[in-house]
Amino acid sequence: MSRYTGPTTRINRRFGQAIFPPNKSFERKPYPPGVHGPRLRRRLSDYAVSLHEKQKLRFMYGLTEKQFRRTFERAKSERGVAGEIFLQLLETRLDSVVYLLGFARTRAAARQFVNHGHIIVNGQKVDIASFACQPGDEVQVSERTSSKQLATRAQEDTQYRAVPAWITKDEGALRGQLNRVPTREEMEQGINEQLIVEFYSR
């Protein structure tokens, strides 16, 4: 399945939360899409619940199914709690770090920002959104005028979004550094990662 480019409000209504930036339509219709949405009381099977959770997280990070599955397999091969490691791998992707630093309004915009060569990691240009950042890595906006303008504009829109404690940000220099990997409490709270582990373990 390719990356989703369809109606974002439909996805928000499907999962009952703002996966994508919400609009008035989502506020006006806080129930599942479709003609039966307002009255839908369907009981979901265990498989459907796990699939729902997996799809929700995949849409959050904007990954294709192949990318998502590959990341999970990598998490499963490492020592530790697979679900938590999986979330850490997603959260420390370069596009996610750029988003958390406030250099882009959305994760999709952060991915594009990285792909267009606006980001420098440890002094080297990196244009791969899935680049795995490590503790100690320094992420900064390119010195190009266009890069700085885009990042500055995004920072104005995201000024009230808190930067996680595991990242140190130098706002004036448009730079940030990863201090450590995030703990479970510092990552997405609206996800039950154990359901995703169970889904892929079937």
Please enumerate in sequence order all residues whose Cβ is within 8 A of that of 120, keeping only pairs 6 or more positions apart, or say none: 126, 139, 140, 141, 142
Are residues 105 and 76 both part of a single domain?
no
Of 34, 17, 60, the closest CA to residue 187 belongs to 60
Q: Is 106 a domain residue? A: yes
Are residues 20 and 73 both part of a single domain?
yes
Are residues 157 and 195 both part of a single domain?
no
Are residues 103 and 74 both part of a single domain?
no
Are residues 126 and 77 both part of a single domain?
no
The answer, yes or no, to whether residue 43 has pLDDT greater than 90, is: no
Q: Which pLDDT value is given to residue 146?
A: 94
Please enumerate in sequence order all residues whose Cβ is within 8 A of that of 84, keeping only pairs 6 or more positions apart, or say none: 184, 193
Q: Is 56 a domain residue? A: yes
Would you state the structure tokens that stand for residue 176, as one six-digit string? Answer: 């940030």
Are residues 82 and 108 both part of a single domain?
no
Are residues 102 and 83 both part of a single domain?
no
Q: Which pLDDT value is given to residue 1?
A: 40
The answer, yes or no, to whether residue 28 has pLDDT greater than 70, is: no
Q: Where is pLDDT greater, at 193 or 159? A: 193
Instruction: Give the bridge partners for 121, in sequence order.
Output: 124, 139
Question: How many structural domains are present in the chain?
Answer: 2
CA–CA separation, 16 vs 28, rounded Å?
A: 12
Q: Which pLDDT value is given to residue 30?
A: 61
Tell me: the pLDDT tens digits for 74-88? 999 999 899 999 999
The answer, yes or no, to whether residue 153 has pLDDT greater than 70, is: yes
Are residues 102 and 175 both part of a single domain?
yes
Report CA 179 to chain centroid distance, whole Å. Answer: 19
Residue 159, domain extent: 93-180
pTM of structure: 0.84
Are residues 12 and 77 both part of a single domain?
yes
Residue 192, sorted as left (phi over 0), alpha (psi -120 to 50) or beta, turns out to be beta
The answer, yes or no, to whether residue 36 has pLDDT greater than 60, is: no
Report CA 6 to chain centroid distance, whole Å. Answer: 18
Q: Which pLDDT value is given to residue 154?
A: 93
Secondary structure string (H, E, C) spanning 130-143 = CCECCCCCEEEECC
Q: Is 29 a domain residue? A: yes
Q: Which pLDDT value is given to residue 41?
A: 61
Q: Is 162 a domain residue? A: yes
